[in-house]
Chains A and B, each alone.
Chain A
Amino acid sequence: MLSIKNLRAKIDNKEILRGLNLNINPGEVHAIMGPNGSGKSTLSNILTGKKGYEIEGEVTFEKEDLLKLEPEERAHKGIFLAFQYPLEIPGVNTNIFLKTSINAIKKARGEKEFDAIEFLKLIKKKSADLKFDEKILSRQLNVGFSGGEKKKNEILQMSILNPKLAILDETDSGLDIDALRVVSEGVNTLRNQNNAFLIITHYQRLLDYIIPDYVHVLKNGQIIKSGGPELAKNLEKLGYKDFN
C-alpha cells in the first residue's frame, strides 16, 4: 500500500530524515517510536503533503507517486492524518466543516455526496460510537475544545472519512486514561483487512490498547530497528539512549 524508499528531507537546510525506508501493507498496524527531534512529525507532514520541505527519495501509495500530489488529492486517495496539534478555526462550524470535508472527498471519488439527513445520521452514529458529545459539533472547529476533545474530534473525523491509511501523530499525548481508551476503541473498530495505520508515539502506553503488527524505532531520521510489539516494551524499559 505505502512504500517509502530512501526518504530524505530537509527544512531550512537542516536534514531531518536521512534515508528512511518503510513498507506498509493493507491490514497492518505500524507504530513508529522515537525520541524528540527524531523526525516523527516530519514524516507525517511529508506523507500528507505539507509544503516547505526539500525532499529526496521515493514514496508511493498504491503504486502512485505520492510526492506529486497536493494535500487534498492525498485525502481523496484515502490518506488521513490525525494532527498532533489540531488547529482551532474560529468562525467555522464543526458540523459544516465535517460535511464539507466528506463531500469534497466523495465528489473527488465520483461518489454521491451526502445530503443533510444522511450526514446527520452518520454523524449521530459515529459520535455515539466514540462517546462524543454531539453538542460539541455545533461549536466552532476546535475552538475552546479541551485537549482530549480535540483529539477525539480527530478520531471522529477519521471514522467518518474512513481512510485507507490513517496516520496518528502523537494522538495519545495529553489524553487521560478514559479518553485514551475511547480513541483506541475508535481505531480498533475501524481496523480491517483493507486499511492500515501508522501510529506515531513517544510512549508504549497507547500500544497496550492498539496492538501493532510492527514497531519501528526512529532515530536521527532513520529507522534503526524494527520488530514486533515486544520491541515497544523493551524500548520503554531501556529508553531511546541505548538504541544505536
Chain B
Amino acid sequence: MDSQIKIDFENFLNKENFSKSQIQLKKNNFNEFVKKGFPNKRIEDWKFSDLNQIIQTNIKKLNFISSDLKQEDFEITTIKDFEHNKIIFLNGKILKVDFSLEENDKIVIQQNHNINADHIENSLVSLNSAFVSDYVKFTVKKGYQAKKPLIFYNYLTTDIASSALNIRIDIDLEDGSSLNVVDLSNQNLNNNFINIRQNFHVGENAILKKYFLDTENSKNIKYIYNNLDLAKNSHLEYFILSSGSKFLKNDITCSLNNQYGSISLNGIINLDGEKHHEIKTVINHKDENCKSYQLIKSVLADQSKGVYQGKISVDNKAQKTDGYQLSRALLLNDQTEFNAKPELEIYADDVKCSHGSTSGNIDEDSIFYLMSRGLSYHQSKQLLVNAFLNEVLEKITDEKIKIFIKKLTGLTNEY
C-alpha cells in the first residue's frame, strides 16, 4: 500500500484529539486495512465488482485526509416537497442537525468522537473505523413515533476531489418507536471515494423505513455498509434507488434476531453510461416466525453493469420462516452486463423460501403495439421501462415519500 496513506493517517491522528485507547483502536483498524487493501475480485463478495481496480482506474491517487476544508461560503438547498427533519453532512462531517419538528427529548442526538471495539471482517469497515472522526448517533426514545421523516443530506465543498471520505451514522430505535429516513446520497462532486457505515438497531415493536436515493450523476465511487438488527415483532422497510454514481455498492446485512420480525427490502438499479452498481444483501433469520421479502429490478442501458447478490440464511431454530427474493433485469442493449448470485442457506426444516432471477431484453412486439398507437420508439420504451420499475416503487408505503421519489426520478407513467 502507498506510503501516502500512512502519512495521511499520522497527520489525521495528530490533528484530532483522540484518547490513547482510541488511538490504539484506530491504529489496529488502520493496520488491518493496510494489510488487506481495497477489496478485489479474488474476494468472493467482490467477484463482480473489483473495487481496487475501479478506484485505480477512476481516481488513481486518493487523499485520505482532507484537512483544509472551506465551509464558510457554502449554500445549502433542501427539498420543499414535504416537511422533514434534517441532518446535513458537509464533506462527511456533521454541519447541522435539525429535529425541530419533533417533541423535545424524544430524539436524542450524540456526536461521537470515539469508536467502539467491534470487529468486522471487512477492510472498508476497518478503513472507516480508522479515519472516522466525528459521527452522529441518535436514539428515538421508547414509544415515540417520529412525526416527520428525517432526511440525510450529503454535501461536498468544491475543493474536495480525489478524496476518501469516511462517514458513519448509528441509529437506535427504542422499543415501540418509529422513524422514516430518506438518505439522499447525492454528492455531486467528482472522483471521490465515499465510504459510509450505518448501524441501525430496531427495538421491539419498532418500525424503521429507510429510503436510500442515489440519483444525481457523479463520478464518485461509493460503498455503503449497512448493518441492521431487528428485535421481536419489529418491521423494516428498505428501499434503494441506485442510479447516479459511477460506482455504488450497497452492502446490507439484516438480522431478524427475535420472533415475528419482518423485512421488506426493495431496490431499483437504473443505469446508463459506464456505471456499475451492486446491491448485496444478507438476511439472517435467527428466530421463528420471521418474514423477509426482497424485490430487485434493474434496467441497464449503454455499457452499464448491474449486480445483485442476495443471501437468505435461516438458522436451525428459525422455524416457520418465510424468505423470498426475486431479481429481474431488463438489458436495453448487448453491451450491458447483469450478474445475479442468489443464495439460500437453510438449517431449519419448516420454512418457505424461494429465489428467482431473470434477465432479458425489452419486448419488441410490445414496442410495436405501442408505436402502432402513435407513441414514438423512445416514448414506448420509456413507458415499458417505467412500467417495469413501477412495481418496485409501489412497494413504498410512505405515500408522500413515494410521490417525491416518483417525481425525483421521472418514473411515472404520466406523459
Binds B, one of A58-66, A89-97, A228-236: A89-97
Q: A87-B366, A91-B391 known; A157 and B373 CB under 8 Å?
A: yes
Whether A49 lies near B373 (C-beta < 8 A) is no
Whether B377 lies near A83 (C-beta < 8 A) is no
Min CB distance A126 to B, Å, is 15
A165 at the interface (CB under 8 A from B): no
Secondary structure at the A interface, as helix, strand, loop or mixed, is helix
Which of these, A50, A81, A100, A157, contacts B383 with CB under 8 Å?
A100
Task: Determine the distance from Cα of A80 to Cα of B372 in the docked complex, in whole angstroms.
Answer: 7
Whether B374 lies near A72 (C-beta < 8 A) is yes
Q: What sequence of 0s and 1s flags, for each residue 52-87 of chain A, a beta carbon within 8 Å of any chain B beta carbon?
A: 000000000000000000111011100011010011
B414 at the interface (CB under 8 A from A): yes
Whether B369 lies near A86 (C-beta < 8 A) is yes
Question: Which residue of the partner chain B has the closest CB to A157?
Answer: B373
A204 at the interface (CB under 8 A from B): no
Residues on A with beta carbons closer than 8 Å to the beta carbon of B372: 48-49, 71-72, 74-75, 80-81, 83
Of residues 113 through 138 on chain A, the ones whose CB sits less than 8 Å from some CB of chain B are none
A104 at the interface (CB under 8 A from B): yes
Whether A104 lies near B379 (C-beta < 8 A) is yes
B109 at the interface (CB under 8 A from A): no
- Interface residues of B, CB < 8 Å — how many? 25
Which of these, A81, A87, A100, contacts B375 with CB under 8 Å?
A100
Contact residues on A (Cβ < 8 Å of other chain), bracket: 20 to 34
Residues on A with beta carbons closer than 8 Å to the beta carbon of B388: 91
Whether A101 lies near B371 (C-beta < 8 A) is no
A215 at the interface (CB under 8 A from B): no
Of residues 374 through 406 on chain B, the ones whose CB sits less than 8 Å from some CB of chain A are 374-377, 379, 383-384, 386-388, 390-391
Min CB distance A39 to B, Å, is 18
Task: Determine the distance from Cα of A157 to Cα of B372 in the docked complex, in whole angstroms.
Answer: 11
Whether B387 lies near A90 (C-beta < 8 A) is yes
Task: Determine the distance from Cα of A72 to Cα of B367 in the docked complex, in whole angstroms.
Answer: 11
Task: Determine the distance from Cα of A90 to Cα of B372 in the docked complex, in whole angstroms.
Answer: 18
Task: Determine the distance from Cα of A96 to Cα of B375 in the docked complex, in whole angstroms.
Answer: 13
Whether A49 lies near B374 (C-beta < 8 A) is no
Residues on B with beta carbons closer than 8 Å to the beta carbon of A105: 373-374
Residues on B with beta carbons closer than 8 Å to the beta carbon of A100: 375, 379, 383, 415
Residues on A with beta carbons closer than 8 Å to the beta carbon of B386: 91
B368 at the interface (CB under 8 A from A): yes
The interface centre, meaning the residue of A49, A86, A96, A97 with most chain B CB atoms within 10 A of its CB, is: A97
B370 at the interface (CB under 8 A from A): yes
B413 at the interface (CB under 8 A from A): yes
Residues on B with beta carbons closer than 8 Å to the beta carbon of A220: none
B75 at the interface (CB under 8 A from A): no
Residues on A with beta carbons closer than 8 Å to the beta carbon of B376: 70, 72, 104
B105 at the interface (CB under 8 A from A): no
Whether B365 lies near A76 (C-beta < 8 A) is no
Whether B373 lies near A96 (C-beta < 8 A) is no
A7 at the interface (CB under 8 A from B): no
A206 at the interface (CB under 8 A from B): no
Task: Determine the distance from Cα of A89 to Cα of B377 in the docked complex, in whole angstroms.
Answer: 15
Given A48-B372, A101-B375: 8 more A-B contacts, CB < 8 Å: A71-B371, A71-B372, A87-B369, A89-B370, A92-B387, A92-B413, A104-B373, A104-B374
